[in-house]
Amino acid sequence: MYRVFEALDELVAIIEEARGIPPTRNCIVPRGEVLELLDDVREALPGELDDAQDVLDHRDKIVTDARVGAETTVKTANEQAHHTVTSARDEADRILADAKAHADRMVAEARAHADHLVASAEAEAERVVADGNQEYETVTTRARTEADRAVAAGQASYDRSVADGKAEQERLVSATEVVRAAHAESARLIDTAQSDSDRLRQECDDYVDGKLADFEETLHSTLRIVGRGRHQVRSGSSVPDYSSEFRPESSAGFRPESTGFRR
């Protein structure tokens, strides 16, 4: 490339030093030297310029082919992208449908389990209440029988005391002091019999009241257990366990032997 610039500089110097032709702007240059310099320039130019010229000559065809190739590539990419998006959307719909079906199945199973727990708790509560009612009837009947027996015994003791007092009164009716003593003794016996009868009745009432209080505590405990189980079922925090709550000892308070009732 250096020889090209050197030859061009020489051509410029020849043209600047050439003799002009008046009155024009033309000049006379030595043909042989100019042609030699032009040959030097032609030979000094690299072969890549010819290749570049060929590229320029074929640029329209290259650009057209490149545009067609680009359009084909874009079309193929668009088709592939559309296919990919469609496949992804179909896969997403399938996954969503499977997830919804799985969620519906889990909700149905959870609802069935909750219904089963509630039904079990209600059945257990009804059984406990039925047992409590039966125990209440038994204790009440037993207490009523014991009260009736105690009242009958008190009444019999009272009648015997009255009869004894009347007999003693009739036997000692002849003497004033004896009669007064008999009256006093009769009154004392009557008061004692009445006191015993009232005491027995009070003890019977206390016994029945104690049994009813025990039964009331059992019912309250049962209702609290059922309420806690229903709360746990509604909140889903855990599965209630009633096996530790309903033990045979829960009705131990109904044994009449545990009271202070005296026969």
Residue type, 236: G
- Report the alpha-carbon distance of residue 114 to residue 125 in Å, rounded: 16
174 phi and psi angles, rounded to 5 deg: -75, -25
Per-residue confidence (pLDDT) for residue 152, from 0 to 100: 86
- 39-78 tens-digit pLDDT: 888 777 766 566 666 667 777 777 788 888 888 988 898 8
Per-residue confidence (pLDDT) for residue 241, from 0 to 100: 57
pLDDT at 258 over 50: no
pLDDT at 15 over 70: yes
Count CB neighbours of 178 within 10 A: 14
Residue with tokens 């250096």: 2
**Rounded alpha-carbon distances, angstroms, from residue 107 to 113, 114, 230:** 10, 10, 18
Q: Are 200 and 183 in contact (CB under 8 A)?
A: no
Q: Is 246 left (phi over 0), alpha (psi -120 to 50) or beta?
A: beta
Per DSSP (E only), the strands in 23-168 are 27-28
